[in-house]
Amino acid sequence: MKYFSAYATWRPDALRRHQAYIKALEAQGVEAIMGRFKQKTLRCRATCREEFQTHEEKETDVNIGVHLLADAIRDRFDTAFVISADTDLNVAIKMARLEAPTKSIQLVSPPGRFSRNREVPALFSITKGKIRSSLLPAEITTASGKVIKRPANYK
């Protein structure tokens, strides 16, 4: 199983939680493939015209697409479930289906993001209840012996 994401390095508390989550996933045998965020300057479109800094996630959708296609061609799965509402993945999904026609590649929408993607319709949408019932264990011990505890508010 693979997990694709990027660290919000400018948010220290979120970064620490995300890093712990990645370590917990890896301890469960999940491969984490990380993209990055790029800082971007935008200008307010309203009358103030002030500039402000924001961040844009980069590489995650490309990483998903490249891994999906490579894994399909290399016969690393029979069925792939791509959990995303990002239409940027349409080309990669269609190409993987074309290059590996015996593989089942299904798009699944995250909670509240059921897409109206006409090119690659979602098989179903994951409910918040399904996520609640699929939490990692309350404590996970990594290969190095470190214990990672699930935050108490994740019940």
CATH number at residue 74: 3.40.50.1010
- Give me the pLDDT at residue 85, please: 86
State whether residue 4 is helix, strand or coil: strand
Confidence of residue 117 (pLDDT cuts 50, 70, 90): confident
Q: What is the pLDDT of residues 43-84, one digit of tens each?
A: 888 888 888 889 999 999 999 999 999 999 999 999 999 999
Same domain, 67 and 127: yes
Distance CA(74)–CA(113), nearest Å, equals: 31
Distance CA(87)–CA(121), nearest Å, equals: 10
Same domain, 53 and 3: yes
Helix H or strand E encompassing 17: helix 12-27
Report how many domains make up the chain. 2
Residue among 125, 111, 64, 55 at smallest CA distance from 91: 64
Distance CA(96)–CA(104), nearest Å, equals: 10
Whole-model pTM?
A: 0.84
Same domain, 119 and 69: yes
Same domain, 77 and 129: yes
Could you tell me the two tokens for 25? 């996933």
Same domain, 119 and 51: no
**Residues 89 and 81: beta-carbon distance below 8 Å:** no
Same domain, 38 and 69: no
Same domain, 52 and 107: no
Task: Calculate mean pLDDT across residues 27-40.
Answer: 94
